Amino acid sequence: MKLYRTWAVARKEYLHIIRDPRSLGMGIVIPVILLLLFGYALSLDVDNVPTVVWDQSESQVSRDFLSGFQGSPYFSIVKFVHGYGEVDRAINSAEALAALIIPRDFAQLIEAGRAAPVQLIVDGSDSDTADTAIGYAETVAQSFSQQVAVREVQRKTGRTLDLPLDYRPRTWYNEDMESKNYIVPGLIAVIMMVIAALLTSLTIAREWERGTMEQLISTPVKGPELILGKLFPYFTIGMFDVLLAVLMGEFLFDVPLRGSVPLLFGMAAVFLVGALSLGILISVVTKSQLLASQLAMVLTFLPSFLLSGFMYAISNMPQPIQIITYVIPATYFVSLLKGIYLKGVGLEVMAIQAGLLGAFGVVMVILANDKFKKKLE
Amino acid sequence: MSAIRTSKLKKTFDEVVAVDDLTITVTEGEIFGLVGPDGAGKTTTMRLLTAIMEPTSGDAWVAGFHVVKEAEAIKERIGYMSQKFGLYPDLSVMENINFYADIYGVPRKGRSKRIDELLAFSNLTPFKQRLAGNLSGGMKQKLGLACALIHTPKVLFLDEPTNGVDPVSRRDFWRILYQLLREKVTIFVSTAYLDEAERCNRLGLIYKGQILALGTPDEVKQIMPGAILEIRVADSRKAYQLLKKELREESVGLFGERIHIVTRDPQKVESEAAKILQDAGIDASAPRPIEPSLEDVFVSVLAEQERSEQAR
Amino acid sequence: MNSVEKNSNETAVVVQDLERRFGSFIAVNRVSFEVKKGEIFGFLGPNGAGKSTTIRMLIGVLAPTDGVGTVAGFDIRTQAEEIKKHIGYMSQKFSLYDDLTVSENIDFYSGIYRIDPARKKARKEWVIEMAGLEHHRHSRTAILSGGWKQRLALGCAILHEPPVIFLDEPTSGVDPVSRRQFWDLIYELSGKGVTVFVTTHYMDEAEYCDRLGLIYRGELIAAGTPETLKTELMQEDVLEVICERPQDAMGEIEQIEGIKEVALFGKGLHVVVEETERAVAAISDLLQRRGYAVTRVEGIVPSLEDVFVSLIEARDRAEQPQQEVKR
């Protein structure tokens, strides 16, 4: 392998990039737009669930109970209604996602020391929100029950009563449970995977389509020289994207970066080599720009978006799908990035992920080289 | 020593035989023309010889190296200009040339002299900074040639270099090729223009993957069965219709105001044709035998071939 | 150009100052010409000279930027759809469907042109016979040779018996035998009164046309019969030199005073000179002295290529070399 030839290819590729504003736009502008779009729009937090209330009891007790909801950041009572018809309309028109129905004899039952039924209706068409709303509502209802029980004991026995269990949940790493804190690091991984593979998927196919490849393969240039030369400028763009993303995470999204910055960039570099080589491999195999870009999209975007654990926890997926997630390189990079960003851990904990990423890179480079033939069929 | 030698070289794509048992020898320092219509196997032959495609069977040696076993050695010693413009339209003339100079590992020392030489040679000096995509067709071809020559190759392969280029540029291009011959470069050129073929030292007529004739242009013309009579006539179409009807045995062709009759018995047909025209009161020049062009040869050889195929 | 009667009964195509720009690039620059009915008009020029752009304007698929014209009596600016009904057009890439059979391709085009059902069968048989495809009626078009495809494409383009046909480089990439057969067909059509407008970059084919227009860098630089072009437009004389090693002799001849250009032509040389007699003597003398065996040195009627080259060079000399236009 001759370095000067690799260098010649790299310089040529660099000229292509700067002469074609579209490829530069795709390499830099699109990642930034994606990061802004997803960073701001993609929030998995559930709060201010619009709720309507049908309080048939209209008593002090029912108002006490409702104050628990009014005080919660998770619910926002938008309207008081009278009758199921109105409840129905509110939910159908998406005015409300939840409805709370308090029966007429609510106060009497509580005062009699008996269990009072309360109905919560939730719009299940958005099941994630519904789940979360039900969870929050349960908490509010439970704590109201406890208060009532404690008060009752106090009234009957005359002594104060501590609850037997002092439950103190605490979230580590993402104390405020803000979804952007885990979305942004994952997003960096997904964007890098998609953009890197897309960028390189066009390069070799374009040369085949234009007919320049026929000229090239008649020269002494070797496959690895060509592939490495082509990787180089895109690697530079990719690393620049990482830098931009990290800066945006720091200054725009306020995502805490607790771990080692050099480690972050190092792992990004390893991942990038793999993703870029995957693109080259696609390009080498398809020899067509259209097919290559479609294949790159399908092979990178969907799996890394849905199955990398970036948005949906892998542990919640069905067993067969979980197995698939293990072969998606972005999975390891997502968990590495989350680890570095949120936990501040290093290689001592994530050596396996790092090793697998390295293996991904090596395999892709070897495959791309192996599949590239200096021959026409 | 021969610059190119092939022995029963064959390439098939599925059922189609693109190159069929090709056996030719090209001597060092000559310009050899591979002549035939599209789809005859010219491009496939080029690709086999430039070692960018593997033959199905047979052997070939270029500059002394075997096209399959020593492909990479060949690639260092040849220049190739593919049919499709193989350079980067978004790179300038100089950037393209420098890229190929790097790829071929042309030493920095002496490189700029070589580049200046090639630019002067191809009249591209004023266009150094122009993007290749903005060059005219003729200039693109010359740039392609300059890039293929940057490493001073021993054998130059040109696949239909003048296809669709204006006549002035075609003339220039051939002039450059002859200059190259003086530098002892062997040139293997394919073309669909039969008039260009006459300028080669030797040529091979290829059709359906097979060489129909091989030799100097004069030798190739010898294989023409029969002779050609030419008649010049003002109302050529009427005369043509008439001759075609009357001389059923012969092949009659119309070329503007000229009519060509291909015949095996020129004496007899000469007087017959003159009589036919005279009887019809058509004013025409006397039929005279002319030297066949390569196209005439090609057409009659192909016609012969088709007849024998049909007979079988 | 000859004085042509400005009568639409006599002319099939008339254009005046036709112009087409793409951005700042002028593909066709104020071109004017006429094509008489029943004539074979050759539009000659290198790739990228503006041939296809002109044809596209004439057949009503590309609007001119400026200028006027009529084809078969219809205005190219306002009656494009009428034009399409009255012309046949065969493009460089024969517009046949490779995965359809010969017969299916013909049926498809009969449908497009809405051929009268009563005539449909006869027209189909005519095309099959003309193209020599009797034995390949049900073959896939993909397997046909270039010459067959070309004739089939021509047949499909003239199924509706249009009075004017446009052929855009119909013979590029077909073998010489098929080219000749194709020209036979063109002569036959022209003999029946069909007007044929054909583009080509083969100089020898241009000789077969009744009249020619030479287009170069978007401009019509000459028009007339092949005879007129050769005898009237070329100011210099042309000599043919047949000798040994013409490629070496070229360099020697170029040194002689009064020689404007030397080019390889066929197996000999064409030498453009200012004055025949003196040049013949000088060339014969020089070649003999230098030991070339000379077969012939004589004045000839220039070939169309000689004429074209001389016209192009005159045009180029008038412009700065730096102003070379894109493509």
Give C255's contacts (C-beta < 8 A, 6+ positions apart): none
Token pair in block for residue A270: 């390893």
- The residues facing B79 across adjacent strands are B156
B interface test, pick of A2, A17, A215, A375 with most B CB neighbours within 10 Å: A215
- Chain B partners within 8 Å of C316 (Cβ): 168
* Stretch (H or E) spanning B155: strand B155-159
Same fold, C11-230 and C235-301: no
* Cβ-Cβ contacts under 8 Å, B38 against chain C: 146, 173-175
What residues in B contact A224, CB-CB < 8 Å?
none
Q: What is the Cα–Cα distance from A196 to A241, expressed in whole angstroms?
A: 10
DSSP string, A333-369: HHHHHHIIIII---HHHHHHHHHHHHHHHHHHHHHHH
> So where are chain A's domains?
3-43+178-371, 49-157
Output the furthest CA–CA distance in chain A (Å, rounded): 99
Choose the mutation target among B13, B38, B136 for the interface with C, i.e. most C CBs under 10 Å. Answer: B136
Amino acid at C193: G
Domain locations in chain C as residue ranges: 11-230, 235-301
pLDDT at B281: 86
**pLDDT mean values, one per 10 residues, chain B (312 residues):** 93 91 94 87 94 95 96 95 90 96 92 93 90 88 93 94 81 86 91 84 91 90 85 84 84 82 87 89 86 82 76 68
Tens of pLDDT, residue by residue over A66-79, are: 888 888 778 888 88
What distance in Å separates the CA atoms of residue A212 and residue A206, rounded to the nearest whole number?
8
Q: Give the three-state DSSP class for A296.
A: helix
Q: How far is A219 from chain B (nearest CA, A)?
A: 5
The tokens describing B264, both together, are 């095996």
What pLDDT score does A84 carry? 87
Distance (Å) of CA B127 to CA B88, B110, C310: 15, 21, 24
Question: How far is B10 from A218, CA to CA, in rounded Å?
Answer: 20
The whole-angstrom separation of Cα B171 and Cα B180 is 15
Using DSSP's 3-state secondary structure scheme, residue A15 falls into helix
Map out the domains of chain B as residue ranges: 2-220, 227-291
Which one is predicted more confidently, C327 or B148? B148
CA distances from B125 to B103, B110, B212 (A): 22, 17, 42
Is there a contact between B78 and B50 (Cβ–Cβ < 8 Å)? yes
Residue B287 backbone phi and psi in degrees, to 5: -60, 135
Contact (CB<8Å) C204/B195: yes
Order across the sheet with B186-191: list the strands: B78-81, B155-159, B186-191, B31-35, B202-207, B210-215
Instruction: Name residue A123's amino acid.
Output: D
pLDDT digits (tens, 9 = 90+) for A236-281: 999 999 999 999 988 888 888 888 999 999 999 999 999 999 999 9
- Those of residues 122-181 in B touching chain A at CB distance below 8 A are 147, 157
C touches B (3+ CB pairs < 8 Å)? Answer: yes
**Is A5's CB within 8 Å of B80's CB?**
no
d(CA B289, CA B230): 6
DSSP B14-34: TTEEEEEEE--EEETT-EEEE
pLDDT at C324 over 80: no
pLDDT tier, A50 (very low <50, low <70, confident <90, very high otherwise): confident
Among candidates A2, A16, A218 on the partner chain, residue whose Cβ is nearest the Cβ of B90: A16
- What is the Cα–Cα distance from B240 to B259, expressed in whole angstroms? 7
- The Cα C197–Cα C253 span in angstroms is 40
CB neighbour list of residue A225: distance below 8 Å, 6 or more residues apart:
A1, A2, A5, A6, A9
pLDDT for res C5: 38
- pLDDT at C3 > cutoff 80: no
| CB burial readout A178-215, b (16+ within 10 A) else e | bebbbbbbbbbbbbbbbbbbbbbbbbbbbbbbbebbbb
Pairing outcome for strands C87-90 and C164-168: parallel
Residues of chain B in contact with residue C263, where contact means CB-CB under 8 angstroms, are 171, 175
Residues of C in contact with B298 (CB under 8 A): 175-177
What gap in Å lies between CA C213 and CA C34, rounded to an integer? 10
Q: Do C266 and B298 touch (CB under 8 A)?
A: no
Q: What is the CATH number of domain B227-291?
A: 3.30.70.270
Q: How many CB atoms lie within 10 A of CB C302?
A: 23
Q: Tell me the two tokens of residue B15.
A: 């059922």
Considering only A213-227, B176-190, C287-301, C308-322, which range has the smallest mean pLDDT?
Answer: C308-322
Three-state secondary-structure class, residue B87: coil
Two structure tokens written together for A121: 């209706």
CA neighbours closer than 13 Å in the CB half-sphere of residue A43:
8
The residue in chain B having the minimum alpha-carbon distance to the alpha carbon of residue C303 is B167
pLDDT for residue A291: 94
Residues of chain A in contact with residue B71, where contact means CB-CB under 8 angstroms, are: 374
The pLDDT of residue C71 = 94
What is residue B45's predicted lDDT score, i.e. its pLDDT? 96
What are residue B9's DSSP bridge partners? B22
CATH number of this structure's domain C11-230: 3.40.50.300
pLDDT digits (tens, 9 = 90+) for C250-266: 888 888 888 888 888 77
Report percent pLDDT > 70 for chain A.
Answer: 95
Question: CB count, 10 Å around CB of B221?
Answer: 18
Pick from B32, B137, B24, B49: nearest CA to B87: B137
Per residue in C41-78, pLDDT (tens digit) is 999 887 778 888 999 999 988 999 999 999 999 999 99
Backbone angles phi, psi at B105, to 5 degrees: 65, 40
DSSP per-residue string spanning B185-215:
-EEEEEES-HHHHTTSSEEEEEETTEEEEEE
What are the chain A neighbours of B102 within 8 Å (beta carbons)? 4-5, 7-8, 11
Q: Quickly state the pLDDT bin for C2 (edges 50, 70, 90).
A: very low
Q: Is B134 in the C-facing interface, judged by CB distances under 8 Å?
A: yes
DSSP string, A65-101: HHHHHHT-TTEEEEEE--SHHHHHHHHHTTS-SEEEE
CB-based contact C88:C162 (threshold 8 Å) = yes
The string of pLDDT tens digits covering residues A135-180 is: 888 888 888 888 888 887 887 787 777 777 777 766 666 656 567 7
C103, containing H or E segment: helix C102-112
Instruction: Inform me whether the C-beta atom of residue A167 falls under 8 Å from chain B C-beta atoms.
Output: no
Q: Which of residues 214-233 of A touch B (CB under 8 A)?
A: 214-221
| C neighbours by CB contacts (3+ pairs under 8 Å) | B
Which residues does chain B have within 8 Å of residue A374's beta carbon, measured at their own beta carbons? 52, 71
Distance (Å, whole) CA C187 – CA C181? 10
- CATH number, domain C235-301, options 3.10.180.10, 2.60.40.420, 3.30.70.100, 3.80.10.10: 3.30.70.100
Q: What is the dihedral of CA A300, A301, A306, A311, to 10 degrees?
A: 110
User: Of the CATH numbers 3.40.50.2300, 3.60.150.10, 3.40.50.300, 3.40.140.10, which one belongs to the domain with range B2-220?
Assistant: 3.40.50.300
The answer to whether C184 contacts B254, with C-beta atoms less than 8 Å apart, is yes
Chain A residue with the nearest C-alpha to that of B11: A377
Chain B residues in contact with C314 by the CB 8 A cut-off are: none
Chain B positions touching A219 (Cβ under 8 A) are: 75, 100, 103-104
Q: Using the beta-carbon criterion (under 8 Å), do A219 and B54 form an inter-chain contact?
A: no
Between A171 and A122, name the one with better pLDDT.
A122
Say yes or no for a CB contact (<8 Å) between A211 and B85.
yes
Inter-residue contact B252 to B240 (CB < 8 Å): yes
Of A212, A217, A377, the CB nearest to B87: A212
Architecture of the structural domain at A49-157: 3-Layer(aba) Sandwich (3.40)
Per DSSP, C232 falls in state I
The two three-digit tokens of residue B11, written as one number = 């390439």
Interface of B with A in 48-107 (CB under 8 A): 50-54, 71-72, 75-76, 78, 80-91, 95, 98-100, 102-105
- Rounded-to-integer distance, Cα C44 and Cα A311, Å: 64
CB contact under 8 A, B51 and A5: no
Comparing CB atoms, the residue among B51, B52, B95 nearest residue A214 is B52
Express the helix, strand and coil content of chain C in percent, nearest 5 each.
40, 30, 30
Q: Does B143 touch chain C if contact means CB atoms closer than 8 Å?
A: no
Do the beta carbons of residue B72 and residue B104 sit within 8 Å? no
